[in-house]
Structure 1
Amino acid sequence: MQEISEILQFKYTWRNYQQKFLDGFQEHIKDEHLHVIAPPGSGKTILGLEILKRIGKPTLVLSPTLTIRNQWRSRLLEFFTIDGDFNAYSLDIKSPDHITFSTYQSLFSLSRSFGDNAKQQLLAFIKLHKIETLVLDEAHHLKNEWWHCLYHLKEIEGLTVVALTATPPYDSTATEINRYFSLCGPIDDEIAVPDLIKNGDLCPHQDFVYFSKPEEAQIKYIVNYREQILKFTNALIANTALQESLITLNFYIAPEESLEYIYQNPTFFSSIIIYLNSCGYAVNEENLKLLGFSNSDVTFPSFNYEWAEILLQHLLIAQREEFVAFEQVLMPIEKELKRIGVLEHKRVNFVGDEVLYRNLSNSPSKLESIFQIVKHTDEHLGEDARTVILTDFIRKEFLNFKGSETSVLNKLGVLPIFKYILAKQVGKTSLGVLTGSLVILHKTALNKLKKLLTIENLTNAPVDGSEGYVLISVPDVLKNKIAEAVTQLFTEGVIKTLVGTKAFLGEGWDAPCINTLVLASYVGSFVSSNQMRGRAIRVDANNPDKTGSIWHLACLDPTAINGGKDMEKLQQRFDAFTGVSLKDEVYISNGIDRLVLPLDWSESSELARINKNMLLLSQQKSVFKNRWNEAIEEGNVLVRELKIPYGQEQPYAKTKKMHALNAGKYVMLEVILGVSAFVPEFLIKNMGAVLNKGIVQVLYLFIAALFLGFGPKTFKALKLYFLFGNQYKKTKKIGEALLGYLLDSKVLSFESVNATIHSEQNIKGSFSIYLKDASQHDSNLFISLLEEVIAPIDNPKYLLVNGNWIKRKMGIRNYYVVPKDCGKNKTEALLFQKYWNKEVDGSKILFTRTLKGRKELLKARFSHLKYQFEEVSKKAITWK
Structure 2
Amino acid sequence: MRSGLAAPEEKLHSPHNPLGDLRFKFPWRSYQQRVLDELTDHLDDAQLHVVAAPGSGKTVLGLEVMRRLGKPALIFAPSLAIRNQWKARLVDLFLEEGADESWVSLNIREPKFLTISTYQGLHAALSGESDEEGCSVRIEREDLFSTYRDLGVETLVFDEAHHLRKEWHNSLVELQTSLSQDTRTVSLTATPPYDCEAAEWARYESLCGVVDCEISVPELVKSGDLCPHQDLVCFSAPTGPDADFIRSFAKDLNGFAYDLLRNGEFLSDLSGMPWFKVPEEFEDEIFRNAEFFLAGLVFLKAAGHTLPPAALELFSVQSTDLPDLDRSFLERLLTGVICDEPEFHFRQTGIQDKLVAHLRSIGGLKRGRPQLDDLDEVNKRLRNSLGKIESIRKIVAAETSSLTTSLRMVILTDCIRRDQMPKPGQRKFTPEKIGVVPLFETLRDKGPYQYELGVLTGSLVILPARAEKSFCAIAERKGISRENILSKPLRHDGDYVEVELRGPLAHEMVHVVTEVFQQGEITILVGTQSLLGEGWDAPSINSLILASVVGSYMLSNQMRGRAIRIDPDAPDKVANIWHLACVTLPQKENAFLKAADNLRYPGRLFSTPPWNAIRPGLGADSDLLVRRFRAFEGLTVMEPTRVETGLGRLGFADVNWDVDGLEETNGATFAR
TM more than 0.5: yes
Q: What is the one-letter code of the residue matched to 2:78?
A: P
* Counterpart selection for 1:4 from 3, 6, 13: 6
Describe the superposition over 1:486-535 as per-residue Cα deviations: whole angstroms up to 9, x where unpaired.
32322222222222222222223322222222222224635333222222
Q: 1:376 to 1:343 in 2, by over 3 A?
A: same
Q: 1:349 to 1:34 in 2, by over 3 A?
A: farther
Q: Is the 8 A contact 2:383 2:582 kept in 1?
A: yes
SS in 2 for 1:400: coil
Aligned to 1:358: 380
Q: 1:495 to 1:103 in 2, by over 3 A?
A: closer
Q: 1:429 to 1:435 in 2, by over 3 A?
A: same
Q: What is the one-letter code of the residue matched to 1:501?
A: T
User: Cα distance, 1:384 vs. partner?
Assistant: 2.1
Q: Is the 8 A contact 1:196 1:202 kept in 2?
A: yes
SS in 2 for 1:545: coil
Aligned to 1:64: 78
SS in 2 for 1:589: strand
SS in 2 for 1:382: helix
User: Cα distance, 1:191 vs. partner?
Assistant: 0.7
Q: 1:44 to 1:180 in 2, by over 3 A?
A: farther
* Counterpart selection for 1:440 from 457, 462, 468: 462
Q: Is the 8 A contact 2:454 2:526 kept in 1?
A: yes
Q: What is the one-letter code of the residue matched to 1:395?
A: R
Aligned to 2:434: 412
> 2:171 & 2:350 partners in 1: Cα distance?
47
Q: Is the 8 A contact 1:140 1:180 kept in 2?
A: no
> 2:573 & 2:217 partners in 1: Cα distance?
16
**1:520 and 2:547 matched:** yes
SS in 2 for 1:554: strand
> 1:59 & 1:482 partners in 2: Cα distance?
27
Q: 1:278 to 1:410 in 2, by over 3 A?
A: same
SS in 1 for 2:625: helix
Q: 1:182 to 1:299 in 2, by over 3 A?
A: farther
SS in 2 for 1:458: strand
Q: What is the one-letter code of the residue matched to 1:535?
A: R
Aligned to 2:29: 15
Aligned to 2:134: none
**1:568 and 2:595 matched:** no
Q: Is the 8 A contact 1:168 1:527 kept in 2?
A: yes
Q: What is the one-letter code of the residue matched to 2:79?
A: T
Alignment of 1:128-527 (within 5 A): 137-141=159-163, 164-168=188-192, 176=196, 178=198, 180-184=200-204, 189-215=213-239, 217-237=241-261, 238=263, 240=265, 244=269, 259=284, 265-268=289-292, 270-271=294-295, 280=305, 282-283=307-308, 285=310, 291=314, 299-313=321-335, 329-344=351-366, 348-352=370-374, 354-400=376-422, 405=428, 408-425=430-447, 430-454=452-476, 455=482, 458-464=486-492, 466=493, 468-472=495-499, 475=502, 479-523=506-550, 525-527=552-554
> 2:438 & 2:516 partners in 1: Cα distance?
22
> 1:141 & 1:147 partners in 2: Cα distance?
8
Q: Is the 8 A contact 2:81 2:510 kept in 1?
A: no
SS in 1 for 2:220: helix
> 2:525 & 2:200 partners in 1: Cα distance?
35
User: Cα distance, 1:343 vs. partner?
Assistant: 3.4
> 1:235 & 1:154 partners in 2: Cα distance?
65
User: Cα distance, 1:483 vs. partner?
Assistant: 3.4
User: Cα distance, 1:58 vs. partner?
Assistant: 12
Q: Is the 8 A contact 1:463 1:470 kept in 2?
A: no
User: Cα distance, 1:565 vs. partner?
Assistant: 3.1
Q: Is the 8 A contact 2:463 2:496 kept in 1?
A: yes
**Count of aligned pairs:** 596
Q: 1:163 to 1:341 in 2, by over 3 A?
A: farther
Aligned to 1:665: none
SS in 2 for 1:4: coil
Q: What is the one-letter code of the residue matched to 1:430?
A: E
Aligned to 2:633: 578
Which of the two has higher C-alpha Rg? 1
Aligned to 2:135: none
> 1:314 & 1:107 partners in 2: Cα distance?
50
**1:39 and 2:61 matched:** no
> 1:158 & 1:316 partners in 2: Cα distance?
62
User: Cα distance, 1:39 vs. partner?
Assistant: 0.5
Q: What is the one-letter code of the residue matched to 1:506?
A: G
> 2:61 & 2:91 partners in 1: Cα distance?
14
SS in 1 for 2:235: strand
Q: Is the 8 A contact 1:363 1:410 kept in 2?
A: no
User: Cα distance, 1:301 vs. partner?
Assistant: 4.3
Aligned to 1:538: 565
Q: Is the 8 A contact 2:400 2:451 kept in 1?
A: no
SS in 2 for 1:514: coil
Q: Is the 8 A contact 2:550 2:556 kept in 1?
A: no
SS in 1 for 2:472: helix
**1:600 and 2:655 matched:** yes
User: Cα distance, 1:413 vs. partner?
Assistant: 1.9
> 1:269 & 1:18 partners in 2: Cα distance?
56
Q: Is the 8 A contact 1:62 1:103 kept in 2?
A: yes
Describe the superposition over 1:443-480 as per-residue Cα deviations: whole angstroms up to 9, x where unpaired.
3333333344442673414332x353333455476643
Alignment of 1:858-873 (within 5 A): none
Q: TM-score, normalised by structure 2?
A: 0.70
Q: 1:356 to 1:55 in 2, by over 3 A?
A: farther
SS in 2 for 1:369: helix
> 1:277 & 1:542 partners in 2: Cα distance?
64
> 1:136 & 1:320 partners in 2: Cα distance?
52
Q: What is the one-letter code of the residue matched to 2:243?
A: I
Q: 1:328 to 1:472 in 2, by over 3 A?
A: farther
Q: 1:258 to 1:134 in 2, by over 3 A?
A: farther
Aligned to 1:722: none
Q: What is the one-letter code of the residue matched to 1:577?
A: F
User: Cα distance, 1:138 vs. partner?
Assistant: 3.2
SS in 2 for 1:307: helix
Q: 1:396 to 1:569 in 2, by over 3 A?
A: same
Q: 1:610 to 1:158 in 2, by over 3 A?
A: same
Q: 1:206 to 1:103 in 2, by over 3 A?
A: same
Percent of residue pairs bearing the same amino acid type: 36
SS in 2 for 1:437: coil
Q: Is the 8 A contact 1:273 1:283 kept in 2?
A: no
Alignment of 1:845-860 (within 5 A): none
User: Cα distance, 1:363 vs. partner?
Assistant: 2.3
Aligned to 1:856: none
User: Cα distance, 1:245 vs. partner?
Assistant: 8.0
User: Cα distance, 1:582 vs. partner?
Assistant: 4.8
User: Cα distance, 1:201 vs. partner?
Assistant: 2.4
Alignment of 1:733-812 (within 5 A): none
Describe the superposition over 1:113-160 as per-residue Cα deviations: whole angstroms up to 9, x where unpaired.
9xxxxxxx99xx99x999999876435445765677789999999999
Q: Is the 8 A contact 1:59 1:100 kept in 2?
A: yes
Describe the superposition over 1:604-663 as per-residue Cα deviations: whole angstroms up to 9, x where unpaired.
32444444443444xxxxxxxxxxxxxxxxxxxxxxxxxxxxxxxxxxxxxxxxxxxxxx
Root-mean-square deviation (Å): 5.3
User: Cα distance, 1:167 vs. partner?
Assistant: 2.6
